[in-house]
Amino acid sequence: MLSLEPLRPDHAETLLAFERTNRAYFARSVPDRGDDYFAGFPARHAALLAEQAAGTCRFHVIRDADGELVGRVNLVDVADGSAELGYRVAEAAAGRGVASAAVAEVCRLAAGPYGLRLLTAATTVDNTASQAVLVRNGFRFEREFLLDDLPALAYRRDLDDLRPVQ
């Protein structure tokens, strides 16, 4: 069973280890974060917590049944009832339904307690696993575009069907 935890200050060390361990794996399908991201991680983590406290983002870590951090799923640029979804799952946990389950859960949170109506997401064209996760969770393809000079696909998910009945 997976669980999502809102990002906290005490996640910093484990999250940095997760990012370092999976850096090369992630870089195969998404633009690399760059050396500065890792060198300045404590300040970056504090900035994320500040964004979360301001309500402009919702960051989560994904833990597996053993409590290991196996991914992250985030809602960024929260405004006017919408947000952009982003997620990454450790190479060791890939192909086990972790991303699909985490995206499903964050969609429920977005439609419920977070009060959102719409999510958008993007993936590179060659990241078919991520595309499948989005489609499985009700996202619809919208358009092609360039993401850091890489061909990418934009998706959209209306959350009305997940809204709690008032």
For residue 59, the model assigns a pLDDT of 98
Q: What are phi and psi of 155, to 5 degrees?
A: -130, 165
For residue 163, the model assigns a pLDDT of 73
Q: What are phi and psi of 134, to 5 degrees?
A: -65, -50
For residue 44, the model assigns a pLDDT of 95
For residue 166, the model assigns a pLDDT of 59
For residue 118, the model assigns a pLDDT of 98
Q: What are phi and psi of 9, to 5 degrees?
A: -55, -40
For residue 32, the model assigns a pLDDT of 82
Q: 82-113, pLDDT tens digit by residue?
A: 999 999 999 999 999 999 999 999 999 999 99
Ranges of each domain in the chain: 3-162
Q: What are phi and psi of 157, to 5 degrees?
A: -135, 115
| C-alpha pair distances (Å), 103 with each of 37, 78, 86, 150 | 24, 16, 9, 23
Q: 19-71, pLDDT tens digit by residue?
A: 999 999 998 887 788 899 999 999 999 999 999 999 999 999 999 999 999 99
Q: CB neighbours (10 Å) of residue 135?
A: 13
**Residue 164 clears pLDDT 80, i.e. is over it:** no
Q: Domain spanning 3-162 has what CATH number?
A: 3.40.630.30
